[in-house]
Structures are given as C-alpha cells and as structure tokens.
C-alpha cells in the first residue's frame, strides 16, 4: 500500500510508527509531518486545508489510502472531496465524511444524536445566539457547577465550567455574543457529571467495529490536575477501573447504539471513533465524541495493538473489517508529554532538542518538532512524548521518566504525576 497520512503531532508519529511495521506498506508520506516522522517516512509540505493539492499529490504518487489524523480536514469535508472527484474516488479515506465528523464538529448535533439513540450522556439544552434570554432562563434552573460548551470546534477551549451562577451567566452571554466566532453561535448547556474520565476507541466501517485499547488522558497542565486545560500531558493504557463489566456496559450502551445510530440516520462512517467517557458510579456516560484518534492517547493505544493496523485499514477498503483480528498486548503502556515552557499559554518555538542515549525500552514520539539547519528543534507547545511498556503501570512510568530525563530543551516541562491517581 502507498499511504498518505495527514497531520504533524504525536498521534501522527505513532500512527506512522505503527504503519511502518507492516509488511504491506510500500511507501508512506506524511503531510506535513515532523522531525520524528521524517525518520520513518517522507514528509511532504502540504497545506491540510488545500484539498485540491492533497488530491493532486495522491494522483501523482499513486497513493491508495489517505489516513486523516486531525479532525479539522474531516469536519471541513476532505472525505467528501475525495468521494466526489472521479479521479480520487478509488482512494480509501480513513476518516468519516463531513456529516459523520459532525459527531465532533457540532456538540449540538452530537447531543441530539445521543438523545435520539438513547445513548447515556449529560442532560442538556442547546441555544443559538438569538435565544440568549431562553438560555439564561435555562441556566438558572440548572445546578452548579455549570457546564457551557461552544457548539463548533474551538481548538479545545470551547468548554467552560463555572461554579457561580453569575459568572456562568456572564460566560454564556460572552459565548453567544461571539467569543469563539461562529463556533459559539450555538451553545450547549449541560448537567455536570462527577466521575472519572477515560477514552475508548473503535475503528469502524459503519457496520462492523473493532474495539482498540482504552486510555486515560491527563488534560491539565499542573500536577494533581490543576491549572489550564491542554491537549493532553500524558496517557496510560489499560485503565485500571475499566474492567470487563464496565467495558461490557460501554460496548452495549454506547458503542453499539452509536454505530447502529449512524447507520439508521443514513450516515456512512469509516474511520475511528473516540468516545470521551465519564464513569459515574460504575456507569459510562458520553462527555464527547471525536471523529479521530486522541493525542496523546494514540501514543499508548497503538503500542498496545499487536495486530497489523494496515490489515484493519484494508478491512475498511475491502469491506472485510469483520474478518480482521484485533490482538492486544497485555502489558501496560504509559506516555509522558514534554512541553514548551509557558504552554498552554504563549511559548517559544525553535529550541534545539538534545536526545542523547534514550534506551530502546522507550519510544520517543515527536509531537511538535521540525528540522532546522540539520537540527531537531521544538515547533509546538507539546514537543515530545515518551512511551514505555511495563508489566504494570509503575514500571512503565519509571521507564518513561528515566528516558525523559535524557531529553533536554530550554524551558521544557512535564508532569511528574502521570498515572499516580490510579495506582
């Protein structure tokens, strides 16, 4: 297979690493990629919003499969672009159509979808910018803490949780008046659910699905889950509380109704679904859907997938996903993200990274790096994720931290408490 992978984060380095292990891979291109993907694939400078240029590239280089890492091109309709062009329609796209990507692209869509298909989620109301008074009245009838969500993609910043009603009212007014541009033209007001979060992933062809290893992400910048939200500071897999009984509930109450619901609604879906879940007294609820894999979750999920990922992609291409096996590595995987000083607020890029002597027990996934004057330099807020296996969480984390100690760049920071809450 000749493959083009879109994206430039740790998720894409982990996807590239996993695909590169397959005997079925003939050539892998990554656009735009990073210094890590450059070691195992060919990086191509393509603008991910320029679908025509991406299409032209796949024709010129005989690409059979397009794997879309991030959500934005999916929400913008890259799958639909490929299906609508006769010259591109035989290329398999791993990632849903624009309509399917609405499960992530519109919180309002996701909430109505879950209500329609009786999928457990927080009770909510949706209000557009012409319904400010109704929205404020609805909010007054809610209990604290108040959860406000911008409907559209808002770079991970669209969820606001306030304890005081007066602050929540102000935040709601600001949102509906355009704080997040068109992303907050509609706002979802949601009941607060208290519990522990985890992420569950499937790959689906719209009818059949395969469950991948679950993971727990650490979203806050500070230790003990304090400070601002980030894209994710580390992840572990498996998740200790996600036992057989819990995962059966996830499959029966959430995964099956989601896949069936998409089909019933006439939405063709091929690719990954990321279920952001919260366990409340042992029962799973959906906090959010994503139409892609997670970052840094992928850096622990794919290392635990023993099966050839191209077999799964081929299963989607040839409608044979149900016949493919998913074999899981029983070891624990942990990943810890090294970030730029200042992240998730303003930070500097271009810091030279030294990575002397990281041993083979860890996989160093690049999340935000590039090559400048033959040197690897930082190129984002989240810079390097170090993944390790262990017979348990403690040994996996010990190895990740030992190897993180060998990686340096000016101003770097990482959380030292990844996984502590579940040990």
List residues binding ligand GLY (CB under 6 A): 217, 231-232, 290, 294-295, 297
Cβ pair 332, 236 in contact under 8 A: yes
Least spacing, CB of residue 111 vs ligand AMP, in Å: 11
Which of 22/290 has CB closer to ligand GLY?
290
Which of 278/312 has CB closer to ligand AMP?
278
Least spacing, CB of residue 292 vs ligand GLY, in Å: 8
Q: Which does 106 bind (CB under 5 to 8 A by kind): ligand GLY, ligand AMP, none?
A: none
Q: Which does 98 bind (CB under 5 to 8 A by kind): ligand AMP, ligand GLY, none?
A: none
Which of 9/33 has CB closer to ligand AMP?
9
Least spacing, CB of residue 158 vs ligand GLY, in Å: 12
Q: Which does 297 bind (CB under 5 to 8 A by kind): ligand GLY, ligand AMP, none?
A: ligand GLY
Looking at beta carbons, which residue is closest to ligand AMP? Answer: 288
Which of 16/119 has CB closer to ligand AMP?
119
Least spacing, CB of residue 362 vs ligand AMP, in Å: 27
Least spacing, CB of residue 295 vs ligand GLY, in Å: 5
Q: Which does 160 bind (CB under 5 to 8 A by kind): ligand GLY, ligand AMP, none?
A: none
Which of 302/376 has CB closer to ligand GLY?
302
Binding site for ligand AMP (CB under 6 A): 122, 147, 159, 190, 192-193, 197, 219, 276, 287-288
Least spacing, CB of residue 158 vs ligand AMP, in Å: 6
Which of 111/351 has CB closer to ligand GLY?
111
Q: Which does 308 bind (CB under 5 to 8 A by kind): ligand AMP, ligand GLY, none?
A: none
Q: Which does 217 bind (CB under 5 to 8 A by kind): ligand AMP, ligand GLY, none?
A: ligand GLY
Least spacing, CB of residue 248 vs ligand GLY, in Å: 24
Least spacing, CB of residue 208 vs ligand GLY, in Å: 24
Q: Which does 190 bind (CB under 5 to 8 A by kind): ligand AMP, ligand GLY, none?
A: ligand AMP
Q: What is the 3-state secondary structure (H, E, C) of 113-142?
A: HHHHCCCCECCEEEEECCCHHHHHHHHHCC
Q: What is the 3-state secondary structure (H, E, C) of the chain?
A: CEEEEEECCHHHHHHHHHHHCCCCCCEEEEEECCCCHHHHCEECCCCCCCHHHHHHHHHHCCCCEEEECCCHHHHCCHHHHHHHCCCCCCCEEECCCHHHHHHHHCHHHHHHHHHHCCCCECCEEEEECCCHHHHHHHHHCCCCCEEEEECCCCCCCCEEEECCHHHHHHHHHHHHCCCCHHHHCEEEEECCCCCEEEEEEEEECCCCEEECCCEEECCEEECCCEEEECCCCEEEECCCCCCHHHHHHHHHHHHHHHHHHHHHCCCCCCEEEEEEEEEECCEEEEEEEECCCCCCCHHHHHHHECCCHHHHHHHHHCCCHHHCCCCECCCEEEEEEEECCCCCCCCCCCCECEECCCCCCEEEEECCEEEECCEEEECCCEEEEEEEEECCHHHHHHHHHHHHCCEECCCCECCCCCCHHHC
Which of 147/212 has CB closer to ligand AMP?
147
């Amino acid at each position: 297979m000749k493959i083009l992978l879109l994206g430039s984060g740790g998720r894409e380095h982990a996807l590239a690493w996993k695909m590169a292990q397959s005997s079925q891979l003939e050539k892998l291109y990554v656009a735009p990629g990073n210094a890590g993907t450059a070691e195992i694939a060919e990086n191509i400078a393509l603008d991910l919003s320029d679908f025509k240029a991406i299409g032209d590239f796949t024709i010129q280089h005989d690409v059979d499969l397009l794997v879309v890492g991030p959500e934005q091109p999916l929400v913008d309709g890259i799958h639909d672009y490929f299906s609508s062009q006769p010259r591109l329609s035989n290329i398999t796209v791993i990632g849903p159509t624009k309509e399917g990507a609405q499960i992530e692209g519109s919180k309002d869509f996701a909430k109505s979808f879950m209500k329609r298909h009786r999928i457990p989620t927080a009770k909510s109301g949706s209000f557009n910018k012409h319904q400010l008074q109704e929205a404020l009245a609805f909010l007054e009838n809610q209990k604290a803490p108040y959860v406000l969500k911008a409907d559209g993609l808002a770079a991970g910043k669209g969820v606001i949780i306030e304890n005081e009603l007066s602050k929540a009212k102000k935040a709601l007014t600001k949102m509906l008046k355009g704080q997040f541009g068109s992303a907050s033209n509609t706002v979802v007001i949601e009941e607060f659910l208290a519990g522990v979060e985890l992420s569950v992933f499937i790959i689906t062809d719209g009818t059949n699905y395969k469950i991948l290893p679950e993971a727990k992400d650490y979203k806050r910048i500070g230790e003990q889950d304090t400070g601002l939200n980030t894209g994710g500071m580390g992840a572990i897999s498996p998740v200790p509380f996600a036992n057989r009984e819990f995962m059966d509930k996830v499959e029966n109450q959430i995964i099956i109704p989601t896949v069936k619901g998409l089909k019933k609604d006439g939405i063709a879906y091929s690719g990954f679904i990321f279920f952001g879940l919260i366990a409340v007294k042992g029962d799973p609820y959906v906090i959010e859907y994503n139409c892609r894999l997670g970052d840094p979750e992928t850096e622990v999920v794919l290392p635990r997938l023993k099966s050839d990922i191209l077999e799964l992609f081929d299963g989607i291409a040839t409608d044979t996903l149900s016949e493919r096996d998913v074999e899981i590595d029983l070891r624990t995987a942990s990943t810890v993200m090294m970030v730029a000083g200042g992240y998730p607020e303003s930070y500097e890029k271009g810091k030279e990274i030294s990575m002397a002597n990281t041993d083979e027990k860890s996989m160093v996934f690049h999340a935000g790096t590039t090559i400048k004057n033959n040197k690897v330099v930082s190129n984002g807020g989240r810079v390097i994720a170090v993944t390790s296996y262990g017979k348990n969480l403690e040994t996996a984390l010990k190895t990740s931290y030992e190897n993180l100690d060998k990686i340096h760049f000016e101003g770097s920071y990482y959380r030292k408490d990844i996984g502590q809450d579940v040990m």
